[in-house]
Amino acid sequence: MRKAEIGIIRLKFQSIDPKELVNISVNPFKTQIEEKEINLEIHIPEVEPITADAEKICWVLTNFIGNALRYTPRWGKIKIRITQRPKETEFSVEDSGYGIDPQTQSRIFEPLTGDGESTVKGGGLALAISREIIEAHGGTIGVESQVGRGSRFYFILPNSVI
């Protein structure tokens, strides 16, 4: 097991099944999904294990799923998808929620900051930490969204950390 540090966060790399990461991350939301009558679709083909910090990647997925659930109205849809390519694996959470305007999208992974009188809005601390975690894995993170049509948050990880 290899470790890396980002700030004060330690990463513990191990071989992990991407399907297991999704299953662990969805589990805490099952009751809320049922109560809001959300149509949850999970698309996971047969995938090979990846090298990652399972706890930290589950934290990012849980953040994405929680946000999708928060911003998707009753009877909406949330899709979770894994796409594996020869050297990388993409995880995405797509919702049929309210969507995010382009100006906010450009700052969504920045923390909220302020000087006491004005506030420059980012996505908050959780999305900023998510970016740090994914970048520490050598990956990329992003969002695609249209106001009134929903959002797709995703991250791409290398299949193995060198």
Instruction: Give helix then strand counts, H and E, for the chain.
Output: 5, 11
Classify domain 3-158 at the CATH superfamily level.
Answer: Histidine kinase-like ATPase, C-terminal domain (3.30.565.10)
Strands 88-95 and 113-114: unpaired
Q: What is the pTM of this model?
A: 0.88
Q: How confident is the model at residue 32 (pLDDT cuts 50, 70, 90)?
A: very high
Distance, in Å, from the CA atom of 144 to the CA atom of 125, rounded to the nearest integer, reads 19
- Give the pLDDT confidence of 39-89 residue by residue, as tens digits: 999 999 999 999 999 999 999 999 999 999 999 999 999 999 999 999 999
Count other C-beta atoms under 10 Å from residue 43's C-beta. Answer: 11
- Give the pLDDT confidence of 116-138 residue by residue, as tens digits: 443 445 567 899 999 999 999 99
Is the alpha carbon torsion for 83, 88, 89, 95 positive or negative?
Answer: negative
Q: Choose among 157, 122, 151, 125: nearest CA to 138.
A: 157
Q: Is 140 exposed, middle or buried (0-12, 13-18, 19+ CB in 10 A)?
A: middle
